């Protein structure tokens, strides 16, 4: 595994080391001890999976303390445009965003620290995405805002009109700095 800094404080790309031979390939997708040493991750307690078709946007989501989550995002099949926004007021990258393509082919994962909003758009015909989290999903602590919030000017691959969103994602309000 190789850790690559992103432009946002505490957010990293994780590049897998793929070993190919005549049988296929092998790769280590998660190594707690290595990641604990390199980026001080917590132990993950849950793994979630989503399957979505092209033009689906999921986001922008986060959980409030004490259930704010660290995540590792990985694409098992297909391709997504993944976007995170730093919502930590004390961070040097506060309210900045970062977008990156994650796919089965590029073998990159994204470590998203606690205090970030997260969302993604499916840019292949379909995508299967898994993400590890260090705290459980707690509906009463879930928050979000519109993925098309103009104050962030996020670079989605599809317009709002061409995107497929859940009713919940369509109805999130715009982000307010005082409500995290």
User: How far apart (Å, rounded) are the C-alpha atoms in residues 97 and 7?
Assistant: 9
First to last CA, the chain: 33
Which two structure tokens, joined as six digits, stand for 97?
């965003």
Cα angle 97-17-10, degrees, rounded to a multiple of 5 = 30
Indicate if 61 belongs to the active site: yes
Tokens of 142: 């879930």
Measured distance CA(148)–CA(67) in Å, rounded: 25
Indicate which residue of 12, 61, 67, 118 is catalytic. 61
Helix (H/G/I), strand (E/B), else coil: 147? coil
Cα separation, 153 vs 171, in Å, equals 18
User: Is 32 among the catalytic positions?
Assistant: no
Q: Which of 12, 62, 67, 131 is catalytic?
A: 131
**What residues act catalytically?**
61, 131
């Amino acid at each position: 595994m190789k850790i690559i800094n992103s432009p946002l404080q505490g957010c990293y790309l994780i590049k897998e080391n793929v070993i190919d031979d005549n049988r296929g390939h092998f790769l280590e997708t998660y190594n707690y001890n290595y990641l604990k040493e390199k980026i001080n991750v917590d132990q993950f307690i849950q793994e979630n999976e989503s399957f979505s078709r092209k033009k689906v946007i999921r986001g922008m989501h986060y959980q409030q303390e004490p259930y704010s989550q660290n995540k590792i995002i990985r694409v098992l099949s297909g391709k997504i445009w993944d976007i995170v926004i730093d919502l930590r007021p004390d961070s040097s990258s506060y309210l900045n965003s970062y977008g990156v393509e994650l796919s089965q082919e590029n073998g990159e994962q994204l470590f998203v620290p606690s205090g970030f909003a997260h969302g993604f758009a499916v840019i292949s015909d379909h995508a299967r995405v898994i993400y590890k989290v260090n705290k459980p999903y707690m509906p009463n602590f879930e928050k979000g805002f519109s993925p098309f919030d103009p104050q962030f000017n996020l670079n989605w691959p599809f317009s709002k009109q061409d995107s497929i969103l859940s009713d919940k994602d369509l109805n999130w309000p715009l982000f307010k700095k005082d409500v995290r």
